[in-house]
Structure 1
Amino acid sequence: MLNAADLPDDIAALKAMLVAAEARDQRKDVRIERLEKLVAAFRQAVFGHKSEKRDPEQFELALEDLEAAIASVHAEEDADVPARKRNTGPRVANRGSLPKHLPRIEDVIEPESLVCACGGCLHCIGEDASERLDVIPAQFRVIVTRRPKYACRACTDGVVQASAPARLIPGGLPTEATIAHVLVSKYADHLPLYRQAQIMSRQGVDLDRSTLADWVGRAAFELRPVFNALIADLKRSTKLFMDETRAPVLDPGRRKTKIGYFWALARDDRPWGGGAPPGVAFTYAPGRGGQHAEQILHGFKGVLQVDGYAGYNRFLKPGHDISLAYCWAHARRKLVEIARTGPAPIAEEGVSRIGELYRIEADIRSFDPAYRLTARQERSAPIIGDFEEWLTQHRARVARKSPLGEALAYIAKYWDGLCLFLIDGQIELDNNTVERAIRPIALNRKNALFAGHDAGAENWAVIASLIETCKRNAVDPHAWLATTLTDIAGGHMQSSIADLMPWNYVAKV
């Protein structure tokens, strides 16, 4: 608001001030309209129908652009406010926190003079301190290894020289840390090798994509024993999750891609306080047939939690020591899709009933299996009993070929496996654990489009398994890979391969 005391006496100056104020108001109205449109777009991205949301990765990209656009509007508003009138207090925003382990560079800014206007000396009575996140762009360096040769002047007994250090790639350019960087960039950060080569070239490091591919292939070969040990460790569990996802692979003979599959095997005992560390292992197979799952799980005995894919039905036949627990999230998803298309009271009621089960699970998460089992028998079992009656009643009334009829038939078909959680406190309601593990594979697939060969897909599976297992155990994948590749190059004993598991990694300070 204008203060009368601040108004000029000159008529022309007063007119100019009023015109400027009117222009600012108009710009403000335009900014408000832009913000309202951005908020509407944001709401559409978050709350819109599934068909309008598109896939999660597209949503994240759209959200980034919306947030950046809103920030630019705020910056424009700040530019219109004189510096002396800006609110210097903290904005209501989540800016994150700066970790304690990061090095601190002190920058002390002293006044121009420490002499008071009265002639005395000023003394420090306190300070204001602020922290900002700084970054030094990734820099390449060259490790020069020198091995001096020594000989005796008094005799000719020979020359003494230290042995050359072991390398993962004998005679090659990269250190093990460099190879680890390439692997993490490709399989965790989803940067194809040709893009990595472009990034390196900006610092004058000219490497062919084929050279980087050679490093990846050699590293995958050396890491395969660790991968095999990971799968063996997972199969010693009594409870696992399994799922599969497409893996397009180039088929040079046909000049097109063929569809292979990554089969994901996951363990996560943390919801019931189990002592086994979490882990994920991907196995590439040329198809989706159940025989591939059977080969992967050879030797496993216990509960396997899966979706309703028919390929797992072979484990229901005599001769298998595997019990199939099915996924309530998949059952709910089919009902949710129906409810989204319009008024659907039966589907909505089914979603509500399943929601009650999930609320109980949220209350008992992290408790031991015995406690979970008791709580489920007391609280979940009556809900399941009512649900079964509700299911039978509505299946008799709804047309079998209708979307709702098919959704109810799906639940009825897998009913026994859906109810298995009532007799085992280790079983979860769904197989979301393994579905989350597959997401990085899907994102990498979008960036790389397809694997260049079956062997390339197998390498992909090996390295992605180890990186995802690192992440689930809160281990830095780059640090683990660099250390593990160095140990392997140094001749780590096969008999102690368990020491190289990500969950046994101890950071070397």
Structure 2
Amino acid sequence: MNTFESKLIEENQKLLKKLDQQAQLLAQKEEKINKLQLKMMEQTDKIDTLIEQVEFLSKKLFGSSSEKTKVDPGQLTLFGDPVLEEPLTKDEPTEEITYRRRKTSGRKAELTKDLPIEEVHCELHGEDCTCDHCGQAMKPMGKKVVREEVCFVPARLYKKVYISHAYECDCHDPNLEAKSIRCAEVPKGPIQRSLAGPTTLAWLFHQKFELGLPTYRQEKEWSSYGLEVSRKTLSNWIIRASFDWLEPLYKLFLDKLRQQEVLHADETYYQILNRSDGKPATSEARIWLIRTIKDVSHPIVFYHADLTRAKSVILELLRSFKGWLHCDGYIAYKDLPNVTTVGCWAHARRKFQEVSTEHGKAKQAVHFCNQIFRLERELIHLSPEERQIQRESKIRPIIESFYQFIEGIRTVKGKLQTAIVYAQNQRRALTEFLSNGRLEISNNLAEQAIRPVVVGRKNYLFSTSVKGAQANAMAYTLIETAKANGLNVYRYLTYLFEKLPNCEFLVNPQLLGDFLPWSKIIQENCK
């Protein structure tokens, strides 16, 4: 091999080496570009997710809390003003109404028909009732009602003192060592050695649990009435009265709930400062709710306070219960013995409503849900048997179409994917209501029943002890059950705190039946 050929080979090798280096550089650049593209796609997905979250939180913070679908602007509303909804064009003639229309009477009379009446007669006397022309006294000729007003009488406290009278016999029998003495029996109070009477306790419970007024605010109100009592004392009154007189009925309610065939359940977070499990006060406890269905003769609304959200709680509450349970998708309700869960279409629809407005597919899913609710409202007047037949023919096809639709949606992440997965995982529970006409399409009844606890929690924020939380649960149970049975809560609580301390229900538990909200004597006295 000559020198020229060796140089040529050497240059070719250098060239090949240089080409290999350039190829490696290109491969590295392509790999870097691919990584950057992948990173950009991830960042784009993250930005879309964050935008979706911002829109969702903004809607939660500033938007309407109602889940009702917005009405088409071209559609007239039932209670709307057609003049405002269909503005006149410039070419249409207008007519100005100049006369005054007489206001419809009877509204004020309807509002005040049950109030006692105090008449104030405005009359003329002396010179005001003398004729300016002849100077003679004027005679009455008639009267008319000019104005009505409602007057308020503030609450009034007074002290009731029970005095027991003693009696002795004047018999002169020399064989008797002492005279026969007998004392009149005094009714027992709800709390021994306490100033709290039945009406005071009833008003205290009414203020806190029905009106959501915490004890630190009630402390000021009781002071304005003339009773200087601390918030700690008020809280102790609630705990003591609940455990002594409400707990027996509270346990009886739970026993009767377990005998039902269909129930609703829900829970909400709660805070207990001094926890017995050693966890910090910032840990969330729970208020559990179980209630009867709407169409039942004796409705019961039951609350239970617990430190945890574990499945063991609902297992204990529903011990010996056999039937259907309306609930949400929380895993604790899954695979309960002898219990068939019924899903909530309001939860399923809500998850699609939380999706960003840019996703038209979410709107279509909401439309399917609205159709199901609309048809269900049309069947509300039917018997359970007829409702089940109509559901099979009218609602089941829409549900099948709904699931075919969401199965065709392709999405990787975000709230739309969350809504689809929830609906698919809950399919068996969401279609269970089709099997029985007594079942509901949603768990809204339980969500409405849990609202008093949520409102109260916003006011008094927390319970200091576990016993305080349990007392609150008892009070809510008695009050909401009383309301569900059409009772006046204040009268019912007054009756309980007055009669139960003087009733031997511990010896004869059957006596508690007379204190249930639907008993004849309670309905007659506390309706």
Place the TM-score, normalised by the shorter chain, in its bin: 0.7 to 0.9
What is the CA distance between 1:508 and its match in structure 2? 2.8
What is the CA distance between 1:365 and its match in structure 2? 1.9
What is the CA distance between 1:351 and its match in structure 2? 0.9
Q: d(CA) in 2 for partners of 1:492 and 1:151?
A: 29
**Amino acid aligned to 2:180:** G
Aligned to 1:256: 281
2:248 to 219, 225, 230: 225
Q: d(CA) in 2 for partners of 1:93 and 1:411?
A: 51
Task: Kindly indicate whether residue 200 of structure 2 is the aligned counterpart of residue 178 of structure 1.
Answer: yes
Q: Does the 8 Å CA contact 2:354/2:415 hold for their aligned counterparts?
A: no
Aligned to 2:149: 132
- 3-state SS, counterpart of residue 257 of structure 1: coil
Structure-to-structure mapping, 1:103-502, within 5 angstroms: 103-110=116-123, 124=141, 127-128=144-145, 130-152=147-169, 155=172, 157-222=179-244, 223-251=246-274, 256-270=281-295, 275-315=296-336, 320-338=337-355, 341-394=356-409, 398-493=410-505, 494-502=509-517
- 3-state SS, counterpart of residue 256 of structure 1: coil
Q: Does the 8 Å CA contact 1:269/1:277 hold for their aligned counterparts?
A: no
Q: Does the 8 Å CA contact 1:235/1:297 hold for their aligned counterparts?
A: yes
What is the CA distance between 1:344 and its match in structure 2? 2.1
Q: d(CA) in 2 for partners of 1:224 and 1:180?
A: 15
Q: Extract unaligned runs of 5+ from structure 1.
A: 1-47, 57-86
> In 2 relative to 1, CA 217–88 (structure 1 residues): closer, same or farther, beyond 3 Å?
farther
- 3-state SS, counterpart of residue 525 of structure 2: coil
> In 2 relative to 1, CA 133–53 (structure 1 residues): closer, same or farther, beyond 3 Å?
farther
**Amino acid aligned to 2:286:** Y
Q: d(CA) in 1 for partners of 2:347 and 2:431?
A: 14
Q: Does the 8 Å CA contact 1:400/1:406 hold for their aligned counterparts?
A: no
Deviations 1:349-394 (A, max 9, x none): 1111111111122222243211211221222122122222222222
Q: d(CA) in 2 for partners of 1:370 and 1:116?
A: 80
- 3-state SS, counterpart of residue 523 of structure 2: coil
2:59 to 40, 49, 63: 49
Q: Does the 8 Å CA contact 1:264/1:282 hold for their aligned counterparts?
A: yes
> In 2 relative to 1, CA 455–375 (structure 1 residues): closer, same or farther, beyond 3 Å?
same
Q: d(CA) in 2 for partners of 1:246 and 1:215?
A: 25
Q: d(CA) in 2 for partners of 1:159 and 1:117?
A: 79
**Amino acid aligned to 2:335:** R
Q: d(CA) in 2 for partners of 1:99 and 1:489?
A: 37
- 3-state SS, counterpart of residue 376 of structure 2: helix
Task: Kindly indicate whether residue 111 of structure 2 is the aligned counterpart of residue 98 of structure 1.
Answer: yes
What is the CA distance between 1:438 and its match in structure 2? 1.0
Q: d(CA) in 1 for partners of 2:480 and 2:320?
A: 23
> In 2 relative to 1, CA 173–441 (structure 1 residues): closer, same or farther, beyond 3 Å?
same
Deviations 1:448-484 (A, max 9, x none): 2211111211111111111111122221111111101
Aligned to 2:82: none
What is the CA distance between 1:399 and its match in structure 2? 1.4
Q: d(CA) in 2 for partners of 1:89 and 1:49?
A: 44
Q: Does the 8 Å CA contact 1:251/1:258 hold for their aligned counterparts?
A: no
Q: d(CA) in 2 for partners of 1:295 and 1:235?
A: 11
Residue correspondences, number: 419
Moved more, 470-479 or 102-111: 102-111
- 3-state SS, counterpart of residue 268 of structure 2: strand
Q: d(CA) in 2 for partners of 1:314 and 1:300?
A: 13
Moved more, 195-204 or 420-429: 195-204
Q: d(CA) in 2 for partners of 1:93 and 1:99?
A: 10
Q: d(CA) in 2 for partners of 1:305 and 1:255?
A: 32
What is the CA distance between 1:287 and its match in structure 2? 0.8
**Amino acid aligned to 2:181:** V
What is the CA distance between 1:322 and its match in structure 2? 0.7
**Amino acid aligned to 2:272:** V
What is the CA distance between 1:140 and its match in structure 2? 1.0
Moved more, 425-434 or 343-352: 343-352
Q: Extract unaligned runs of 5+ from structure 2.
A: 1-57, 67-99, 173-177
What is the CA distance between 1:255 and its match in structure 2? 6.6
If the length of structure 1 is used for normalisation, what is the TM-score? 0.76
What is the CA distance between 1:94 and its match in structure 2? 8.5
Q: Does the 8 Å CA contact 2:327/2:343 hold for their aligned counterparts?
A: yes
Q: Does the 8 Å CA contact 1:257/1:450 hold for their aligned counterparts?
A: no
- State the percentage of identical aligned residues: 27
The two structures, once aligned, show a CA RMSD in angstroms of 2.9
Q: d(CA) in 2 for partners of 1:149 and 1:334?
A: 72
Q: d(CA) in 1 for partners of 2:274 and 2:109?
A: 46
Aligned to 2:12: none
Q: Does the 8 Å CA contact 2:155/2:225 hold for their aligned counterparts?
A: no
Q: d(CA) in 2 for partners of 1:49 and 1:286?
A: 32
Q: d(CA) in 1 for partners of 2:389 and 2:297?
A: 23
Q: d(CA) in 2 for partners of 1:308 and 1:461?
A: 24
Q: Does the 8 Å CA contact 2:190/2:498 hold for their aligned counterparts?
A: yes
Aligned to 2:3: none
Q: d(CA) in 2 for partners of 1:263 and 1:178?
A: 28
Q: Does the 8 Å CA contact 1:98/1:133 hold for their aligned counterparts?
A: no
> In 2 relative to 1, CA 353–208 (structure 1 residues): closer, same or farther, beyond 3 Å?
same
Q: Does the 8 Å CA contact 1:251/1:257 hold for their aligned counterparts?
A: no
Q: d(CA) in 1 for partners of 2:380 and 2:120?
A: 47
If the length of structure 2 is used for normalisation, what is the TM-score? 0.73
Q: d(CA) in 1 for partners of 2:143 and 2:450?
A: 53
Q: Which has the larger radius of gyration?
A: 2
